[in-house]
Amino acid sequence: MSLWADKYRPTALARLDFHRDQAAQLRNLLVVSQPPRSPPAGAGRWEVELPSCDPRGPPAPSEGRGGWFSPQKGRLTVQCGDFPHLLVYGPSGAGKKTRIMCLLRELYGAGVEKLRIEHQTITAPSKKKIEISTIASNYHLEVNPSDAGNSDRVVIQELLKTVAQSQQLETSTQRDFKVVLLTEVDKLTKDAQHALRRTMEKYMATCRLILCCNSMSKIIAPIQSRCLAVRVPAPSIEDICHVLSSVCKKEGLTLPQDLARQLAEKSGRNLRKALLMCEACRVQQYPFTSDQDIPETDWEVYLRETANAIVSQQTPQRLLEVRGRLYELLTHCIPPEIIMKASFKGSGSTPGCTSTLVKCHLARWTYGLTQ
């Protein structure tokens, strides 16, 4: 039995529930046509404005490939099934991974859904062995290089080199390149990002990169300039309510609109989280009621209790206790950014401790570090 978030995940760009204009623009990247002998009248090379994408447009294509943008058609036509490196960014639960997988399905067909988990061992120049897990099909490879810590540079260089030097198993796809999907690129070290920039230039002919991250602020400029940046904004409250109602209808359930809106607002416009919360409500109580309690995750409750412990007492004993609780959260793979945000939010909601007071203490502590 699979989760609703996985069971009802769209598998084609045409079936996406929101940001459909952006999905149409992504489909235009895969339009195949015969390369013209000369550019159409009034056409410019790779000059395109994507309403939902980065207005700077894509970088220059590889040698011998390319496309022509026709102002009359208002879209980018990609010759020979080629497309540039992509940088897909946006908040968690906005649908970045879903759109990437739909794009790969449009490119290669249903074969990209036949996934397998592979465990690879990479030997660093210092003879250190690095264990890394990847998700792969016959046409693409998905990996999170930041899992290797400070050795992410070696992982990027070796994996991309291996993929770029291998040939496609099926020629029926008519694609002479493979796709490598790198997730959480914003967590890569600077050395790894510079290595990625050099590698993506070297293997452009046989490998395309799709980079996925939450924010572009930590991505170096050379990588940004070599990719077509596509921003996937968070879905609106109405979009999430529509998806929740649609999923519940497919499950044969009746979801009150008031409860759907509460789920959408409490999830922070995170569609994945909203679906998980809705499924938890189904297990807790059905039929649904508009005023029923929405269960919280264990780590959120644990983190709120930790924030209350920090505010209520500041002693060496309490410091030791809080440190142990923070270690417990980290060992359960809760990101440090989430811990800091939730701690600040939880401490600000404690009686007698406003968010303004917490900000003043943090500002004073930060200023003391600079002296």
Helix axes 271-284, 237-250, angle to 10 degrees: 40
Q: Check: CB of residue 101 under 8 Å from CB of residue 112.
A: yes
Buried b vs exposed e over 83-117: b needs ≥16 C-beta within 10 Å?
bbbbbbbbbebbbbbbbbbbbbbbbbeebbeeeee
> How far is 338 from 303, CA to CA, in rounded Å?
10
**pLDDT tens for each residue of the chain, 371 residues long:** 688 888 899 888 888 889 988 888 888 776 543 344 344 444 333 333 333 444 444 444 433 333 333 333 334 433 345 678 899 999 998 999 999 999 888 888 888 888 899 888 888 888 888 888 889 888 888 999 888 888 888 888 888 888 777 765 555 555 677 889 999 999 999 999 998 998 888 887 778 899 999 989 899 999 999 888 999 999 999 999 999 999 999 999 999 999 999 999 999 899 999 999 999 999 988 888 888 888 888 888 898 888 888 888 889 999 999 999 999 999 988 888 888 888 877 665 555 555 566 667 667 766 666 65
Q: Where in the chain is CATH 3.40.50.300?
A: 83-234
Whole-number pLDDT of residue 168: 58
Whole-number pLDDT of residue 76: 41
Residue 125 CB burial class (10 angstroms; 0-12, 13-18, ≥19):
exposed
Q: Check: CB of residue 186 under 8 Å from CB of residue 213.
A: yes
Q: Where in the chain is CATH 1.10.8.60?
A: 1-11+235-295
**Cis amide bond preceding 287, omega within 30:** yes
- CATH number for domain 83-234, candidates 3.55.10.10, 3.90.1150.10, 3.40.50.300, 3.30.365.10: 3.40.50.300
* Contacts for 189-195: CB closer than 8 Å, 24+ residues apart: 189/150, 189/152, 189/153, 190/220, 191/153, 192/145, 192/152, 192/153, 192/155, 192/156, 193/219, 193/220, 193/223, 194/220, 194/222, 195/153, 195/156, 195/157
Q: Check: CB of residue 273 under 8 Å from CB of residue 238.
A: no
Instruction: State pTM to two decimals.
Output: 0.77
Q: Check: CB of residue 123 under 8 Å from CB of residue 129.
A: yes
Tokens of 242: 């529509």
Distance between start and end Cα atoms, the chain? 57
Whole-number pLDDT of residue 53: 43
Q: What Rg, from alpha-carbon coordinates, does the chain have?
A: 24
> How far is 139 from 192, CA to CA, in rounded Å?
24
Whole-number pLDDT of residue 48: 35
Per CATH, is 1-11+235-295 categorized as 1.10.8.60? yes
Q: Check: CB of residue 343 under 8 Å from CB of residue 332.
A: no
Angle, vertex CA 337, rays to CA 294 and CA 154, nearest 5:
125
> How far is 162 from 13, CA to CA, in rounded Å?
30
Whole-number pLDDT of residue 354: 59
Beta carbons within 10 angstroms of residue 219's beta carbon: 20
